[in-house]
A and B are shown apart, each in its own frame.
Chain A
Amino acid sequence: MALIERPATRDGGLVPAVVTPSSSYGVFRRPVETKGWKSWLFTIDHKKLGIMYGVTAIFFFFLGGFEALLIRAQLATNEGTILSADKYNQMFTMHATTMVFLFVMPMAAAFANYFVPLQIGARDVAFPRINAFGFWCFLFGAIFINTSWFLGGAADGGWFMYAPNSSVPFSPTSGIDFWTLGLQITGIASLTGAINLIVTVINMRAPGMSLMKMPIFTWMILIVQFLLLFAIPVITVALFLLMFQRNFDATFFSVEAGADPLLWQHLFWIFGHPEVYILILPSFGIVSEVLPVFSKKPLFGYPLVVFSGAAIGFVGWGVWAHHMFASGLGPISVAVFSVATMAIAIPTGVKIVNWIMTMWGGKLVFTTAMLFAIGLIVQFTIGGLSGVTHAVAPSDTQQTDTYYIVAHFHYVLFGGAVLGIFSGLYYWWPKMFGKLLNETLGKWNFWLMIIGMNLTFGPMHIIGLQGQPRRMYQTTDARAGEGFFNLNFWNLVASIGSLILGIGAFLFVINVFYSHRKNGPAPLDPWDARSLEWMTASPPKEHNFDAIPTVHHLDEFFHRKYEDRGEGEHHEYHQVATAEDVLAEQEANADKHIHLPSPSYWPIVLAFGLPVMAYGVIYNIWLIVVGGAIVMAAMYGWGLEPATATPDDYDPPTPEGGAELEVAHG
């Protein structure tokens, strides 16, 4: 859709101009469909891309979950035989890779894509075509990595792929090559996404929205994008070195050639530690949106939440070596990194206090979204506390590489990132699809996941402190111990827990199908929400806002619905308008000309060239040339194509087409 003119209807809404798709789809006529599969494949609409990111990410959540269940099934009994040692290695490596790179990161990208433009009152991101390109890079990269299962075996070096274990003699299949090249491709998605979202947030806010009036979710996303911007190139270097090592016989990580094996560890964790904040901060943002809404109070200490988020972002760069306490760094380094790590608990603690103070004295409404948010506070805090125990280096040297670590990072990743994501799904679902999710199923979803995760990861503290190493493919009765600390028993509990967890998570999918069949349209403002994204139709119109709002307050939407009749410091809010009123007023004042950029073939074509090149690196040099040619052709096609369709892209040609449109950049 190129242009929406305003033949104002009686009730004041906008009627999209009728657009007939072009009759010929030759290379030089661009796609202009607004319906059907083509409208998805070539879309550059941030909302469609957000949904595509989300659907793909959730698919990978279940794939990664399935891999986790296989791991737990293997460890449920002594001498498990479900997986061979080799398959077990692949399983935990791919489980972690899938969960981190193919679920949590893209899921955050899904929310960011969908909601950041809405929250700041914009009509799209700054570079819509680059946005589409990012999605396809992610999808193709993800598929590429997973094809390794059928091509000789997946990567098996653990998710941090330590050298020299990752060298060919120790891992002769192509699995690690797939991992290296695939992450390189998904890295492009993260990097372009980061640039795009930063520019969007900095440059495209609605009039009046100063940085300190920005919704907190957008703030956290902004911080995350800066982390990505600077972390991705570091892992890029590491992955290139590994590729040269494995595919071109360099010796960057070969100790026998005089290399320093710690080089990889440093590069990986300089990326890797900011990465864990990349995983958690979006969920912090979601929870900071959800808690105020369901406590009927503004977020307590908004500036503090913003600054503590930024502080976590900064300090997150100075703590990477706490992953390497056991590698012989020397006492000074260990002491410095130990203290820095403890320091990061402070801004994190600040956030937790803020959330609790937000709820304090509020009129709490325990919807599923709220339950997940509270769940995050509780479970993440447990993970944070065990985290502090391994910030203490001497204690960490006892815990490192045991299940205690596995317990810790699942409490922060599952209890933090994942619960936050589910909270966001329940909270924003009616906005994205115009239907509420069923609350009863939602509560089952929540409680089964909470019970399941505590049964799974709780016992891992015990198992770990008793000395069971992580990444061990079989347990033996001989070392199981006796009484309360019997490892067999707790391993079984953990495995049963993981099954409950799996069922709980699957209820979400059932809920989606159930709710979409049974529920009527959701109310416009089901939660009495506070921020701009709720000031649109559900789902939002293609151009998001009929009129770009002017912002006067933090929580602008709330202030349009409620009036403060209190005196001085005493606030007393009275509802003066409903969401319908606000929306109607906006429609009545709709903008005359709204320009949206047009769909394009090139993003998907360009992204498609990359895995072709990657297969080339592994199998045949000529494929690199083919892939490179696709990439070059797509780049030129992209560069020469205006951002909005021209009249002759339409059939019949529209009188104006995109001719008078602004040039959109992308």
Chain B
Amino acid sequence: MADTAVHAATDHGHDDHGTHHTTTGLSNNKLAMWLFLGSECLLFGGLISTYMLYRGRHSENLGPDQLWDIPFTSASSFVLLMSSLTMVLAVTAAKRRDDRNTSLWLTVTAMLGALFVAGQIYEFTVFYREGLGFTTSLFSSSFYTLTGFHGVHVTVGVIMLLSVVGILMKRRTGEDKSELVEMVGLYWHFVDIVWILIFTLVYLIPA
């Protein structure tokens, strides 16, 4: 009969939506972010495959060899990489509950991200001036689609970073915000890693 006794669980109600007592101990929010990023891998997988399939399909004088400005893109890649570093600093500050430094580093991260996006827009304009429109060739369409998608991801990241800064400034409850910062951090690092992949496959490996 032991099993038929209903075990008087006193306060499990608290577990339901909280982040504290989940079955696995992982926070719901972070788990969700990991899952989402897992899904994003396939999204970029599809886009990168499309690009790899089509990267050779362009006219004689408008291919990667004529267009790429490796020093410039390396510089902007470096900027994005550094933003991962500042993101780490933001997360550690958030864990210390040091709101001031968290905001500071989040802002710096957002600035670096914005700088990268600006660089990308500049790069696109240069290519466009040289004659590479979105529909010029299969190569151009798939290039702009892939890097465009990545650019949108960075932009969304910048918006998220600034929103977190906004939330921190309001500081309504003074509660622990480190999880929020960590989540945005996960996203940010992911976007960064994807760029490393794109930079290698698209820019560095000769077609």
A residues adjacent to B (C-beta < 8 A): 122-124, 126-128, 191, 194-196, 198-199, 202-207, 209, 229-234, 236-238, 240-241, 244, 248-252, 257-260, 263, 267, 543, 547-550, 552-553, 556, 559-561, 563, 576-577, 581-582, 585-586, 588-589, 591-597, 636, 639, 643, 662-666
Contact = CB atoms under 8 A, between A and B. Distances in A.
A655 B26 CA distance: 33
Interface in B31-49: 31-32, 35-36, 38-43, 45-47
Interface in B116-138: 134-135, 137-138
Given A126-B17, A127-B32, A204-B15, A553 B3 contact: yes
A240 B145 CA distance: 9
B16 interface: yes
A548 B41 CA distance: 37
Contact of A563 (B1, B16, B137): B1
A592 B10 contact: yes
| B3, B11, B31, B36, most chain A CB atoms within 10 A | B3
9 contacts: A202-B31, A203-B31, A244-B134, A259-B138, A552-B3, A588-B6, A596-B16, A662-B14, A665-B17
A196 B28 CA distance: 9
Contacts of B39: 191, 194-195, 229-230, 232-233
In the A-B complex, the 6 residue pairs with the smallest Cβ-Cβ separation, listed nearest first, are A664-B17, A237-B46, A203-B22, A233-B43, A548-B12, A589-B8
Contacts of A589: 6-9
A643 B135 CA distance: 45
B29 to A, nearest CB: 5
Interface string B136-172: 0110011001000000000000000001000100000
B24 interface: yes
Contacts of B74: none
Given A258-B57, A547-B9, A595-B16, A248 B134 contact: yes
A252 B142 contact: yes
A548 B19 CA distance: 17
B23 interface: yes
Contacts, number: 181
Given A233-B40, A250-B141, A252-B141, A204 B16 contact: yes
A273 B160 CA distance: 35
Given A233-B46, A251-B135, A663 B18 contact: yes
Interface of B: 1, 3-19, 22-24, 26, 28-29, 31-32, 35-36, 38-43, 45-47, 50, 53-54, 57, 134-135, 137-138, 141-142, 145, 163, 167
Contacts of B138: 251-252, 257-259
A199 B35 CA distance: 9
B23 A203 contact: yes
Nearest to B7: A550
Contacts of B41: 233
Contact of A124 (B6, B16, B36, B43): B16
| A127, A237, A559, A563, most chain B CB atoms within 10 A | A237
Name the prevailing secondary structure of the B interface residues.
helix
A664 B20 CA distance: 11
A198 B17 CA distance: 14
Given A124-B16, A202-B31, A662-B16, A251 B10 contact: no
B21 to A, nearest CB: 9
A576 B4 contact: yes
A195 B141 CA distance: 31
B32 A126 contact: yes
Given A195-B32, A547-B8, A586-B6, A591 B13 contact: yes
A398 to B, nearest CB: 31
Given A203-B26, A203-B31, A204-B23, 8 more contacts: A205-B23, A250-B141, A250-B145, A252-B54, A258-B138, A548-B9, A549-B7, A643-B17
Nearest to B133: A249
A244 B145 contact: yes
A263 B52 CA distance: 12
| B15, B19, B46, B145, most chain A CB atoms within 10 A | B46
A585 B47 contact: no
Given A203-B28, A204-B22, A260-B53, A662 B43 contact: no
A599 to B, nearest CB: 14
Contacts of A240: 145
Nearest to A581: B4
Given A124-B16, A643-B17, A252 B50 contact: yes
A126 B31 CA distance: 11
A256 to B, nearest CB: 11
B3 to A, nearest CB: 5
Nearest to A254: B138
Contacts of B137: 257
Given A199-B28, A230-B38, A258-B57, A560 B4 contact: yes
A547 B8 CA distance: 7
Given A233-B42, A597-B17, A241 B145 contact: yes
Nearest to B140: A250
Given A257-B138, A665-B19, A561 B4 contact: yes
A295 to B, nearest CB: 22
